[in-house]
Structure 1
Amino acid sequence: MLKHSDIWQAIDRLAAQNGLSASGLARRAGLDPTTFNKSKRTTNEGKLRWPSTESLSKVLEATASSFSDFVGLVDNETVKGTMQRIPVIGYAQAGAQGFFDDAGYPVGTGWDELQFPHVGDPQAYALEISGDSMEPVYRDGDIIIVSPSASLRRGDRVVVKTTGGEVMAKQLLRSTANRIELQSINPAHPLRTLSPAEITWMARIVWASQ
């Protein structure tokens, strides 16, 4: 399974390969020099933070490296040896009919795709955020990777689709046989309490471009 430390170590190695510090690598890519600082690798609350896909794309372009080159710098043989093609689904598509089966797995073909180290779920997919309903955590254009088969625990960030077609990113506060409590990521939206019958599917967010 891909870990935060694997990705940050690969960034450090990419910088070293190019004779740069992590801040020097960020500067060459046109990013804020503090983007890859140690202090930026966790949130103020102490939670681990992933580098954004945008910042990774910029440093790969700045160093003329491919994503495969970057994966080769990851100190994890399982990750390096196993890549999967992940469909990228638009936020509007996620709320439409016919794009998912009853278990929350994407169906059909013709999606955009991205190559990503294996996340432990062959049916994982990427959801491209559109609009501001998931701010401030997920912004317009961000990519989140969702695993329908991942087990759900209290405190997990999840994507939920209701029987009415609403798709939302929430934090799972509590799940019982009779109700599911969901904390809004956007503070402008209130706590949601739904019955299991109101939820079409709920899947855990396993990676986000933040």
Structure 2
Amino acid sequence: MMRHEDIWRAIDTLAAERGLSTSGLARSAGLDPTSFNPSKRRGSDGKLRWPSTESIAKILMATGSGLDAFAGLVLGARTLPPARAAARRVPVIGLAQAGQDGFFDDAGYPAGGGWDHVALPRTEAALADDPHAFGLTIHGNSMEPVYREGDIIVVSPAAPVRAGDRVVVRTGAGEVMAKLLQRRNAQRVELASFNPDHKLLVFPADQIAAIHRIVWATQ
């Protein structure tokens, strides 16, 4: 029989395997950071609360863990199988944070200690050879329905970028946004949104500091 405490212990173990707190695990999966806090495990009436199947699915996707491995934790395994525990981790911050000083070095790569992390399956070939890959948490609705508030996207600075790609753009003024690269030439860059309520953005090419292709998302 599956017990309430076994499910929560499995979530705690999954977080510990990734070097995360339960809040960090929730955040890496695009959930409310308090989703797995002890205070959320019982209601105000003292009755036991169970994590939703959706939240479990999201943390398994975010950590690259399989359902079988998680079931093993529920049944009493102390650790994940080695192959799963070795999933690659990349740094993650919010889009708003990415526009602030201190998060990137002079070459435009992740720097400093203010990053969280998300674990990715090693099957992500686009990331395998790029040590500078990093993730961003979506804010706003400009990319709905493809990317929603709280989704984590991962970009690879090493990946080639072409018109039509989903990209993250950083301007010289420090603004960072997830967009669809509509057109780019020596004079200007045109950026579209999936949400039709948001208009096309056009920037002079010399105002764009970086354009990186989105290669993975926690959806």
TM-score of the two chains, using structure 2 as the length reference: 0.59
Looking at structure 1, the residues matched to 195 and 179 of structure 2 have their Cα atoms a distance apart, in angstroms, of 9
Report the RMSD for the aligned CA atoms in angstroms: 3.1
Q: Number of aligned pairs? A: 154
Q: In the alignment, is residue 101 of structure 1 matched against residue 105 of structure 2?
A: yes
Q: Which residue in the other structure is 2:71 paired with?
A: 63
Q: What is the aligned-residue identity percentage?
A: 50
Q: Which residue in the other structure is 1:148 paired with?
A: 157
- Report how far residue 186 of structure 1 moved: 2.5
- Report how far residue 198 of structure 1 moved: 1.1
Equivalent runs, 1:178-189 vs 2, <5 Å = 178-189=187-198
Mark the CA change 1:54 to 1:140 in structure 2 (over 3 Å): closer, same or farther.
farther
Q: In the alignment, is residue 123 of structure 1 matched against residue 145 of structure 2?
A: no
Which residue among 150, 155, 175 is the counterpart of 2:184?
Answer: 175
Looking at structure 1, the residues matched to 53 and 118 of structure 2 have their Cα atoms a distance apart, in angstroms, of 23
- Report how far residue 164 of structure 1 moved: 2.2
Q: In the alignment, is residue 163 of structure 1 matched against residue 186 of structure 2?
A: no
Give 2:53's aligned amino acid. G
- Report how far residue 175 of structure 1 moved: 1.5
- Please identify the structure whose Cα radius of gyration is greater: 2
Query: Is contact 2:103-2:114 (8 Å) kept?
Result: no
Equivalent runs, 1:1-210 vs 2, <5 Å = 30-31=53-54, 53-54=58-59, 56=61, 60=67, 63-64=71-72, 69=81, 83-118=87-122, 119-120=127-128, 121-210=130-219
For structure 2, the residue ranges without an aligned partner over 5 or more in a row are 1-51
- Report how far residue 181 of structure 1 moved: 1.6
- Report how far residue 134 of structure 1 moved: 3.2
Query: Is contact 1:104-1:203 (8 Å) kept?
Result: no
1:10-51: CA deviation from partner (whole Å, max 9, x where unpaired): xxxxxxxxxxxxxxxxxxx735xxxxxxxxxxxxxxxxxxxx
Mark the CA change 1:116 to 1:195 in structure 2 (over 3 Å): closer, same or farther.
same
Looking at structure 2, the residues matched to 170 and 139 of structure 1 have their Cα atoms a distance apart, in angstroms, of 13
TM-score of the two chains, using structure 1 as the length reference: 0.61
Mark the CA change 1:198 to 1:168 in structure 2 (over 3 Å): closer, same or farther.
same
Query: Is contact 1:159-1:203 (8 Å) kept?
Result: yes
Give 1:30's aligned amino acid. T
Query: Is contact 1:134-1:168 (8 Å) kept?
Result: no
Query: Is contact 2:190-2:203 (8 Å) kept?
Result: yes
Give 1:56's aligned amino acid. M
- Report how far residue 125 of structure 1 moved: 0.7
- Report how far residue 177 of structure 1 moved: 1.1
